[in-house]
Structure 1
Amino acid sequence: MDTLPLPAAPPTRRISTSRQVYDLLRDRIISLDLVPGAQLSRSEIALFYGVSQTPVRDALQMLETEGLVLVYPQSRTEISRIDIGQARETQFLRMSLELEVVRALAATRPQATLDRMQQLVAEQESTLDTDLGQFALLDRQFHRTMFEGAGVPNLWTLIQSRSGHIDRLRKLNLMDPGKAGTILAAHTQIVDHLRHGRIAALEDVVRRHLTGTLATVDAIRLAHSQFF
């Protein structure tokens, strides 16, 4: 008996070298491994990552568009200072979108999404006192899971494309004693309110959670003035 031919496998999506360099540099900027005011050398970056200068140039252009680097033609390229105004705009956008996301999740309460969020909370708890870098990564995964569960993952991508300044603020804020515990408590409450459909309480905790860093921005700037 003749068999039907199998469909061709979909093409594998490949990330360009420029995008890879961009992602690597952006992660180092967000983590403050590359601090505001630090100068970047295109040739040194190319050598470090083992690529030509063309993808490095393209990556720096993407970072410039996002406002994370400042390019002075024929002079220098440096990491930008944290822009509090831009951080406030991004926080406004995220608040508007994330409130709609949790309302949608509270209406449907998708079990797989809630279970994944609960798992991430447990993983965050295990890193609370040992690895703030991993804690921050799990924080982003927690919120991304909500957007994916609501069926709007591209909106999370949109937020992330504008979050460089506020993410650096959060990194500084996370160093404060008790901040990680406050984040963990908020995530625990979000999952609990979602499971029980408590929309008013859910909206309240999301608002407090997402405004926490900017509520203390003056203290952050005073303690880390070199980043602003």
Structure 2
Amino acid sequence: MKNNASSSVVTRLDRSRHAAPQVFERLREMILSLELTPGTVLSRAELANRYGLSQTPVRDALMKLGEEGLVDIFPQHATVVSQINVSSALQAHFLRRSIELEVVRTLAEQHDAALIAALRATIARQTELLDLNNYERFALFDQTFHRQMYEAAGVPQLWDLVRRLSGHIDRLRRLHLPVEGKTMAVVQEHTEIVDAIERGDATAAQAALRGHLSGTLHQIEQIRTSHPDFLTDD
């Protein structure tokens, strides 16, 4: 176990919404962005103080994070941000690739000009961030790009499913983003996918997608070398 995530600053929540989902969403985002790194201890009492809540909604949020494998809960002891499980990451990648290959095939057959324009606009936003090293916003637009495709293919609930199961692969990708040339490669790969969809070339769109999704997995050993305490095969 490493550092303890604590803060004396109260974080305001939307009082028109239930508290537990908001705490879950905020902690999940912090874990996926690696603001909370593997091994960070999450104190229920300190989190309750930070969000101005009782411990019950905090407990519920932590339990949901545990269900996604993002924290390890040791009853009566501590809750700790989990290591990145490589096996879970590979399974999430398999699921996402399987679904998105069908998604891009469907989109290539639709010839939806509005979708093409929307996807290119998202790529343009990513391009603006290339020299800013703003990896959080870059990753956000990456998620937006893929969500737009799921929605256009008429399967937004599958995007929700993929997101729930992708915590480990998302953290691997976040570790990979700062590597020189990675963000530029993502922009180029997104562009290749959209170009193929616009041409109505389902085979090329699937090939571009397959290469795009597999990039981080080819770098697992390098990531493990750079962050030996973050990854586990268990």
The TM tier, using the shorter chain, reads over 0.9
Deviation at 1:216, TM superposition (A): 1.0
In the alignment, which residue of structure 1 is the partner of 2:110? 108
**Equivalences for 1:82-97 in 2 at 5 Å?**
82-97=84-99
How does 1:1-228 map onto structure 2 within 5 Å?
15-130=17-132, 131-228=134-231
Question: Displacement, 1:201?
Answer: 1.2
Q: Cα RMSD between the aligned structures?
A: 0.9
- Write the deviation string for residues 166-198 of structure 1: whole angstroms up to 9, x where unpaired: 000000000100000000000111111111111
Deviation at 1:213, TM superposition (A): 0.5
Q: Shift of the alpha carbon at 1:16?
A: 2.3
SS at 1:44 equivalent: helix
Question: Residue in 2 aligned with 1:6?
Answer: none
| Counterpart residue identity of residue 23, structure 1 | E
Instruction: Give distance in 2, aligned partners of 1:132 and 1:79.
Output: 21
CA deviation vs aligned residue, 1:52-84 (integer Å, no higher than 9, x gap): 211100000000011000111111110000000
User: Within 2, Cα distance between the matches of 1:197 and 1:102?
Assistant: 10
2:7 corresponds in structure 1 to none
What percent identity do the matched residue pairs reach?
46
Task: Work out the CA distance in 2 between the residues paired with 1:15 and 1:94.
Answer: 30
Could you tell which deviates more after superposition, 84-93 or 187-196?
187-196
The SS at the match of 1:225 is coil
Contact 2:105 2:203 in 1 (8 A): no
Q: For residues 100 and 200 of structure 1, what CA distance do their matches in structure 2 show?
A: 11
SS at match of 2:72: strand
**CA distance in structure 1 between the partners assigned to 2:40 and 2:54 by the alignment:** 22
Unaligned runs of 5+ in 1: 1-13
1:27-47 Cα shifts (integer Å, max 9, x gaps): 000000001011110011111
**Structure 1 letter corresponding to 2:207:** D
Unaligned runs of 5+ in 2: 1-15
Tell me the residue number matched to 2:5: none
Report the AA paired with residue 200 of structure 1. Answer: T
Q: Secondary structure at the match of 1:33?
A: coil
Q: Using the TM superposition, give the Cα deviation of residue 15 of structure 1 relative to its aligned residue in structure 2, in angstroms.
A: 4.4
- TM-score, normalisation: structure 1: 0.92
Rg: which structure is higher?
1
Alpha-carbon deviation of 1:49?
A: 1.4
Deviation (angstroms), 1:86 = 0.1
How many residues align structurally? Answer: 215
Give the partner amino acid of 1:50.
G
| TM-score, with length taken from structure 2 | 0.90
Paired with 2:79 and 2:227, the residues of 1 have a C-alpha distance of: 22
